[in-house]
Amino acid sequence: MTAMRWWLAATALVAPGSLAAQSQDPDARARETEARMQPAERTVLTHGLWALPIFPDTKLPPDAVLGAGYVEGIERLGVPPLLETDAGLGVSSVAGLRRDGATALPSGMAMGSTWDAELMRRGGAMIAGEARAKGFNTVLAGGINLVRDPRNGRTFEYLGEDPLHSGLLGGAQIAGIQSQHVLSTVKHFALNAQETGRMVVDSVIGDDAMRMSDLLAFQIAIEQGRPGAVMCAYNRVNGAPACGSDALLNRVLKRDWGYPGFVMSDWGAVKRTDQALAGLDQQSGQQIDGAAFLGAPLAEAAARDPAYAARLADMNRRILRSIYAIGLDAHPPVKGPIDLAANARLARDVADRGIVLLRNRDALLPLSPTVRSIAVIGGYADAGVLSGGGSSQVQGEGGPAVSIPMGGEGPLAKYNNQAFHPSPPLAAIRAAAPKATVTFHDGRYLTDAVAAARRAEVAIVVATQWMTEGEDVPDLSLPDGQDALIAAVAAANPRTVVVLETGGPVLMPWLEGTGAVLEAWYPGARGGEAIAATLFGKSNPSGRLPVTFPAALADLPRPALPYAETMPAKPDRAQHYPIDYRIEGADVGYRWFARRGATPLFPFGYGLSYTRFVHERPRASGGKTPAVRVTVRNAGARAGRDVPQLYLVSSPAGATMRLAGFASVALAPGEAKAVTIAIEPRVVAEHRSGQWVRPAGRYGFAIGHSAADLGPTTFVDLPARTVPTGSR
Ligand code: BGC
């Protein structure tokens, strides 16, 4: 089905009499309202403010809510303002400026590790509910940039490295948000793959390669979630600024995919009025740009140039269409109390489901509640769990448990803190093992940590790697001597468990000496409890890595992070700083490792459990909807959840290793379930000259426990199929 037909069908599905029915035919309503706009009203919706009290020249309107953005409404026409907040991990605290508390979900990496679209949808609905209760009607969520470099400072916000996985999960989050009549974005469109030089770097990549990777993630997320807006990115793509790219905005998004919503800029990504001609519909946070380029200058351009006039009409219709389709006018946000306890339970569920068990030598975990002594070491485990920095930062009621200033530049530098949610693993471990002697050592001195580890039956080292928007990490080591700390503790006590609170993948030079390793990511408002529940087996880990953990930086497509050493502090925006993504092209992450025959430290899709799953009799079938059916059996003694992953492993076009589908299956001990995993048609096709081309022939599929642990190959003959680039 073409993208446009799909859209119309989705609109027609709305049940008469339902709340959403009032938003029926949003296109017709948008056309009518646009036609009634008076000249002075025509650029009201096309630009907005950064709604923070940090600009001396900005007087925030009375109906603005302190948050990321404010776009004035048009009262005469019943058009509501856009009251915008970040974002995908919960309602953000705008650098600690708003202190009304919100529920922090675990990081994007943790969400990605669940491989569970339904959980993503629930998380999105929760965020939107809290946003409404604070007076917002727009959430700047849906961050789905693929992890092309694990050093990217925003890795923690994103969902993973695979387009199908990120697209399905991101789309589900967006759908959850919009189910509450709150508009969501999908962002950052596109190829915003590192923070170093994010305003100036130029992502260079071939058209087919990007359509089969990063753009495919957006395409799928847009189909699944139908976001009201797409937020274009800071960086350039193939020479043009992403927010002024005719190729990306007009051609790919609006023409090829038939996207009917609007494109909003990222904050500070507008420098010229003619970006509107390239497909930009709305300028955000105009104070950072220095001028309202899509305000008065756009009105002037439209008065003299029919191309601008036509564009302006279309911009208005697109913004209005999203407002009506999502029901922002009919269902304004109502400020009110939030059931923080209920929402914390959801944060806990996501944390439980997102923790990945990476190593478990001799079944050291789960720990017995009768363990006599435990030394907990490092990671501020006595105070809380780490969270990531930047616009996505969420603070619970009462603020962070620990807040360590990290410096930096710019108006928000003083809010650039390593912040810990007050959910201390130490207290939760004590509660889980009430009879044990549990000591805490902050890990600053090896002598002290080693002595404590020697005395205790079990040592638990909590290690942190802080990441933030705006800067990348220089390498994948654990900072502040934590690698040496773990090595020393593990040498002193073989029953050492490492709990990682990292933004993304890290190297583990100490791995072989340890007993067990848990990747807890940034585990959110109830992270400490989730960590303890996994350590003691109250929760059976079911997270699977959504990114490859490399064994060495040398194995990455770019062993040195581009411009890490050479980017000027204030780069000239007119200058180009290319990054060559043609190196890996569409083969991001595990596909790059497969192509090179490189063995990662931990592969994409990997994660252990306290039980054991077997995949029986996989069978591929063709027909209208090709699929693979497999029986998943829990062959162990504990209830648990498996994530059978379907990989394309051979094709007539020479494809190797592509995730083509997946499922999440809960199983009681001994239980078996047959699951049918549909094959995403675009994953088995090649993108060539504006089309998805699937040559006729024999396709091989395997069900994997990870990208590096595959079952037998099952083959199916598929006929030739060619569909336009905007179709499935
Ligand atoms: C970020 C966006 C965010 C926006 C508004 C930008 O710096 O890149 O992700 O939504 O700020 O806070």
Q: Is 195 in the pocket of ligand 1 (CB under 6 A)?
A: no
**Contact (CB, 8 A) for 699 and 706:** no
Of 504, 500, 485, residue with least CA distance to 541: 500
Mean pLDDT across the stretch 448-466? 98
Among 70, 267, 284, 468, residue to substitute to test ligand 1 (most atoms within 8 Å of Cβ): 267
Amino acid at 688: R
Measure CA 485 to chain center: 31
Q: Whose CA is nearest to atom 11 of ligand 1?
A: 267
Q: What is the rounded average pLDDT of the residues 410-414? A: 81
What's the gap in Å between 617 CA and the centre of ligand 1?
Answer: 47
pLDDT value of residue 409? 78
The protein residue with its alpha carbon nearest to ligand 1, atom 3, reads 391
Q: How far is the CA of 286 from the centre of ligand 1 (A)?
A: 13
* Mean per-residue pLDDT over the chain, rounded: 95
What percent of the chain has pLDDT above 70? 97
Q: Which pLDDT does position 54 carry in this prediction?
A: 85
Q: Confidence band (pLDDT; 50, 70, 90) for 352?
A: very high
User: Percent of the chain beyond pLDDT 90?
Assistant: 91
Nearest CA to ligand 1 atom 8: 266
CB distance 577 to 139 below 8 Å: no
How many whole angstroms from 520 Cα to the centroid of ligand 1? 25
Cβ of 391 below 6 Å from ligand 1 = yes
Q: Which residue's alpha carbon is at the smallest distance from atom 7 of ligand 1?
A: 267
Q: What is the pLDDT of residue 57?
A: 86
The pairing of beta strand 356-360 with beta strand 516-519: antiparallel
Q: What is the pLDDT of residues 34-91, one digit of tens each?
A: 999 999 999 999 999 999 988 888 899 999 999 999 999 999 999 999 999 999 999 9
* Atom 5 in ligand 1: residue holding the nearest Cα: 68
Mutate to test the pocket of ligand 1, among 52, 86, 187 (most ligand atoms within 8 A of CB): 86
Is the CB–ligand 1 distance for residue 267 below 6 Å? yes
- Interatomic CA distance for residues 349 and 639, integer angstroms: 16
DSSP code per residue over 586-618: T--THHHHHHHTPPPSB-TT--B-SS-EEEEEE
> What's the gap in Å between 391 CA and the centre of ligand 1?
6
Tokens representing 686 are 């090649």
Backbone angles phi and psi of 553, in degrees to 5? -60, -30
Q: 169 near 111, Cβ under 8 Å?
A: yes
Higher pLDDT: 631 or 59? It is 631
Tell which atom from ligand 1 comes closest to the C-alpha of 188.
Answer: 9
Measured distance CA(177)–CA(182) in Å, rounded: 6
620 near 564, Cβ under 8 Å?
no
Whether residue 212 contacts residue 168, with contact meaning beta carbons closer than 8 Å, is answered with no
Which atom of ligand 1 is nearest the CA belonging to 233?
8
- Provide the whole-model pTM: 0.96
Per DSSP, which regions of 78-208 are E strands? 82-85, 138-139, 183-189, 201-204
Six-digit token pair at 594?
């497969």
Pocket test for ligand 1, best of 140, 145, 185 (most atoms within 8 A of CB): 140
Mean pLDDT of 418-433: 97
Q: Which residue CA neighbors atom 4 of ligand 1 most closely?
A: 267
**In Å, what is the CA distance from 106 to each residue of 388, 499, 683?**
10, 15, 29
Burial class (CB in 10 A: 0-12, 13-18, 19+), 41: middle
Q: Return d(Cα 148, Cα 697) in angstroms, integer.
A: 31
pLDDT in tens, 76-129: 999 999 999 999 999 999 888 888 999 999 999 999 999 999 999 999 999 999
Q: Is 68 in the pocket of ligand 1 (CB under 6 A)?
A: yes
Range 517-544 average pLDDT: 98
Q: Is 266 in the pocket of ligand 1 (CB under 6 A)?
A: yes
For residue 22, pLDDT over 60 is answered with no
Q: Is 12 exposed, middle or buried (0-12, 13-18, 19+ CB in 10 A)?
A: exposed
Q: How do residues 684-721 score in pLDDT, each as one tens digit?
A: 999 999 999 999 999 999 999 999 999 999 999 999 99
Atom of ligand 1 nearest to the CA of 391: 12
Q: Exposed, middle or buried, 62 (CB in 10 Å: 0-12/13-18/19+)?
A: exposed
Computed from CA positions of residues 63, 69, 72, 77, in that sequence, does the dihedral angle turn out positive or negative?
Answer: negative
Q: Which atom of ligand 1 is nearest to the CA of 470?
A: 7
Question: Is the beta carbon of 187 within 6 A of some atom in ligand 1?
Answer: yes
Q: Which of 18-32, 548-562, 712-726 has the lowest mean pLDDT?
A: 18-32
Task: Kindly give the distance from the C-alpha atom of residue 668 to the centroid of ligand 1, in angstroms, as a whole number.
Answer: 43
Q: How many A from CA of 483 to the centre of ligand 1?
A: 32
Task: Check: CB of residue 113 under 8 Å from CB of residue 162.
Answer: no
What's residue 13's pLDDT?
Answer: 36
DSSP 551: S
Q: In what order do the strands lie in the sheet with 69-71?
A: 69-71, 82-85, 138-139, 183-189, 229-232, 262-265
The encoded tokens of residue 663 equal 């499922």
CA distance 676 to 183: 33
Atom of ligand 1 lying closest to residue 234 CA: 8
pLDDT digits (tens, 9 = 90+) for 657-688: 999 999 999 999 999 999 999 999 999 999 99
86 lines ligand 1 (CB under 6 A): yes
Distance of CA 444 to the CA centre of its chain: 33
Question: What is the pLDDT at residue 17?
Answer: 38
What does the pLDDT average to over 277-285?
98
Q: How are the residues of the chain apportioned to helix, strand and coil, as percentages rounded to the nearest 5?
A: 30, 25, 50
Higher pLDDT, 412 or 626: 626
Please tell me the distance between residue 250's alpha carbon and the centre of ligand 1 in angstroms.
Answer: 22
- Please check the confidence at residue 9 and state whether its pLDDT lies above 50: no
561 lines ligand 1 (CB under 6 A): no
| pLDDT for residue 6 | 34
- Whether the pLDDT of residue 398 is over 90: the answer is no
Sign of the torsion angle spanned by Cα atoms 261, 267, 273, 275: negative
Please tell me the distance from the alpha carbon of residue 681 to that of residue 683, in angstroms, as a whole number: 5
Provide mean pLDDT across the span 190-204: 98
Q: How far is the CA of 714 from the centre of ligand 1 (A)?
A: 44
User: Ligand 1: which of 84, 266, 282, 284 to mutate, most ligand atoms within 8 Å of CB?
Assistant: 266
